């Protein structure tokens, strides 16, 4: 790799989306509303799981952990998105940029591992119902949840460190937050090796979890098809439908951005895809998982009644 003379970049500039006229305030207000609703929905789920005994099951514990992850995940990128929508191009210090890069990917990989753990929970509940509560004790739940955080924040160290140690000659980041591909385009050196390393780490983490999820759902499908009645099969499938929907959204967007070839996509495509998994998916998850769920609605009514009584 050739060594090229370069100067230290004092700050990067996030270019964000190009919005003008009446579209700019509408985009800002729309993004702000989605962000606040996302926070409110996830906070509501966490509070309900903590306060209502009817939701004290492993499934809802992991959903509350997912809600906690999603709150921080969306809060990592939305503030810079709002700033670019309101002010246009926004400067960001390199240290802040690399911290954002690391935290964003750490939380993304944590969610990836957590989705695998949630698939395991559904597998044990459906395929081993008699041993389910023994296998998924409170201690096991806490260990599994902790392992997802450790695995996520450890795996993200590799791409974040490799990117942070690159020499940069340009400073305009063609994105609304600091991400791998836009930052590598600013480097003074050939980054093909870095791209392969990033793809290997992220691909192995997401790919292995995806294969595990497929395997677990293969076992679930096999067990459900053996149930005697259509009603029992429908009930079993209903407990998995929300998880399958979120997995499909998460992996479709993640594979498109991080496993595909960035150069083969039109300019601006990465930012639009990033909106799906960094903003839209965290907004939809509380609705998909819980807020439309009968048990959650009943828990909400019980908590409100307790507050009124108090």
Distances (CA, A) of 267 to 127, 271, 278: 46, 9, 18
Within a domain: 310: no
pLDDT-derived band at 266, boundaries 50, 70, 90: low
pLDDT-derived band at 7, boundaries 50, 70, 90: very low
Q: What is the CATH number of the domain that holds 225?
A: 1.20.1070.10
Number of folded domains in the chain? 1
Q: How far apart are CA 75 and CA 92, in angstroms?
A: 16
Within a domain: 106: yes
Within a domain: 2: no
For 178-232, the pLDDT digits (tens) are: 998 889 989 888 888 888 888 888 888 888 899 999 999 999 988 888 878 777 7
Residue 54, both tokens? 């009817």
For 16-55, the pLDDT digits (tens) are: 887 766 788 888 999 999 999 999 999 999 999 998 888 8
For 49-104, the pLDDT digits (tens) are: 998 888 889 999 999 999 999 999 999 999 999 999 888 888 999 999 999 999 99
Within a domain: 132: yes
Within a domain: 307: no
pLDDT-derived band at 268, boundaries 50, 70, 90: low
Domain that holds residue 148: 12-295
Work out the percent of the chain whose per-residue pLDDT is above 70. 91
Predicted local distance difference test score (pLDDT) of residue 254? 73
Predicted local distance difference test score (pLDDT) of residue 8? 62
Between 233 and 164, where is the model more confident? 164
Within a domain: 306: no
Beta bridge partners of 2: none
Within a domain: 94: yes
Within a domain: 128: yes
Answer yes or no: are the C-beta atoms of 174 and 95 closer than 8 Å.
no
């Amino acid at each position: 790799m050739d060594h090229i003379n370069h100067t230290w970049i004092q700050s990067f500039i996030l270019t964000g989306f190009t919005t003008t006229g009446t579209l700019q305030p509408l985009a800002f207000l729309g993004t702000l509303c989605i962000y606040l609703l996302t926070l409110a929905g996830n906070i509501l789920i966490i509070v309900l799981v903590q306060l209502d005994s009817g939701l004290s099951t492993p499934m809802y514990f992991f959903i509350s952990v997912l809600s906690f992850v999603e709150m921080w995940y969306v809060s990592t990128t939305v503030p810079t998105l709002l700033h670019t929508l309101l002010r246009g191009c926004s400067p960001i210090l390199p240290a802040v940029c690399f911290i954002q890069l690391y935290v964003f990917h750490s939380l993304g990989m944590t969610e990836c591992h957590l989705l695998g753990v949630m698939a395991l929970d559904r597998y044990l509940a459906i395929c081993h119902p008699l041993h389910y509560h023994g296998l998924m004790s409170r201690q096991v739940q806490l260990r599994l949840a902790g392992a997802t955080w450790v695995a996520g924040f450890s795996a993200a160290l590799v791409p974040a460190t490799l990117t942070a140690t690159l020499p940069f000659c340009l400073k305009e980041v063609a994105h609304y937050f600091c991400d791998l591909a836009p930052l590598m385009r600013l480097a003074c050196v050939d980054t093909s090796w870095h791209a392969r390393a990033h793809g290997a780490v992220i691909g192995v983490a997401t790919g292995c979890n995806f294969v595990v999820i497929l395997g677990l759902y293969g076992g679930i499908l096999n067990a459900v098809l053996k149930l005697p009645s259509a009603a029992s099969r429908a009930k079993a499938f209903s407990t998995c439908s929300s998880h399958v929907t979120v997995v499909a959204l998460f992996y479709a967007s993640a594979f498109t951005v991080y496993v595909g070839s960035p150069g083969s996509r039109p300019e601006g495509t990465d930012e639009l895809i990033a909106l799906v998994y960094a903003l839209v998916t965290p907004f939809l998850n509380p609705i998909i998982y819980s807020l439309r769920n009968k048990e959650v609605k009943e828990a909400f009514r019980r908590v409100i009644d307790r507050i009124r009584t108090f």
